């Protein structure tokens, strides 16, 4: 039978180890938050559908209900995701 109540030994953590662990945890947490916020902004960008020559075919607009056309690409609409369309 397993003895779950066996006495466990604990080790003291030095101030330096505690400080380093706090710093590493903070850096990892901040990195995860930055990556998540960047990804959320990226997925909200409109999709510009382009043909093989790079010309705009259609703009799928869904960020904040704004409507963009191919004429707005690179003028009003400066940040967007590109999707290649086979025709």
Within-domain flag for 65: yes
Instruction: Say how far apart CA 9 and CA 11 lie, in whole Å.
Output: 7
- What are the tokens at 5? 């109540």
Within-domain flag for 1: no
Is the per-residue pLDDT at 75 higher than 80? Answer: yes
At 6-52, the pLDDT tens digits run 777 778 899 999 999 999 999 999 999 999 999 998 888 888 899 88
How many domains does the chain divide into? 2
Same domain as 58, residue 33: no
Question: Tell me, what's the pLDDT at 27?
Answer: 98
Instruction: With beta carbons less than 8 A apart as the criterion, state whether 51 and 57 touch.
Output: yes
Is the per-residue pLDDT at 76 higher than 90? Answer: no
Same domain as 35, residue 55: no
Within-domain flag for 3: no
Same domain as 86, residue 60: yes
Within-domain flag for 2: no
Euclidean distance between the first and the last CA atom of the chain, given in angstroms as a whole number? 69
Within-domain flag for 6: no
**C-alpha distances out from residue 52 to 10, 49, 83, 87, Å:** 64, 10, 10, 8
- Residue 66 is part of which domain span? 44-87
Rounded to two decimals, the pTM is: 0.61
């Amino acid at each position: 039978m397993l003895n779950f109540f066996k006495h466990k030994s604990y080790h003291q953590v030095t101030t330096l180890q505690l400080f380093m662990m706090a710093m590493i945890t903070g850096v990892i947490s901040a990195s995860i938050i930055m990556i998540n916020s960047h990804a959320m902004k990226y997925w909200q960008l409109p999709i510009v559908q382009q043909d093989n020559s790079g010309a705009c075919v259609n703009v799928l607009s869904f960020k904040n209900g704004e409507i963009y056309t191919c004429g707005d690409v690179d003028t009003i609409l400066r940040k967007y995701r590109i999707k290649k369309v086979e025709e």
